[in-house]
Chains A and B, each alone.
Chain A
């Protein structure tokens, strides 16, 4: 089965500083990886995905993620954090269910706090 791990429950960063939210994965075959963001009392919003191609993937709101096959990682990054980036971030990997349906296996989430 596919899985992802987010080793940090909480990440604090000062506004204007670069941020990184970590994710490692374990898959058989080619990984399809995703990042989602959840703001308080809201549903999850899709940020970006890696399917194939360039290891650096650019997404919404200035976020990007770097796929590293040798380290089995897919860390989320942003060059300059904003207070409005404070939210819960989820890494996910595509998992194929027995019926052939696409499913997403989610990590446990990392709470990002950007300090003014």
Chain B
């Protein structure tokens, strides 16, 4: 079934450690996104990528980095985790142009930084 996969499903991480959240899509969508979901705040955009080889900052980019080496993969890295990065992280993708405005979401990664 086509869609987006994320790994790991959940993780407990010590503060100061480095962590990469993985995201892979098989829909050949050009655009990909990383959001964090926090209670009472909805979803907030961390970083995005219009197409392979390009990335951009969203609403809350500090402490996070991304890369987009190919169309399918869009990993999110926390260089040195802090407790405020405890959240649920969702990867999403969308087709570019035309009617492709809706985004499709992965199942999420629940991250706890202690």
Contacts and interface: CB of A to CB of B under 8 A. Distances in A.
Interface size class of B (residues with CB under 8 A): 20 to 34
Interface string A77-101: 0000000000000100010011111
A94 B33 CA distance: 14
A109 B48 contact: no
A102 B94 contact: yes
Contacts of B56: 97-99, 101
Interface residues of A, number: 25
B31 to A, nearest CB: 6
Nearest to B40: A108
Nearest to B9: A41
Interface stretch (A14-22, A45-53, A63-71): A45-53
A100 B106 CA distance: 23
- Tell me which of A34, A43, A106 has the highest count of chain B C-beta atoms within 10 A of its own C-beta: A43
- Tell me which of A46, A49, A101, A107 has the highest count of chain B C-beta atoms within 10 A of its own C-beta: A101
Contacts of A107: 42
Nearest to B105: A43
Interface of B: 4, 31, 33, 40-43, 45, 48, 50, 54, 56, 58, 90, 92, 94, 96, 99-108
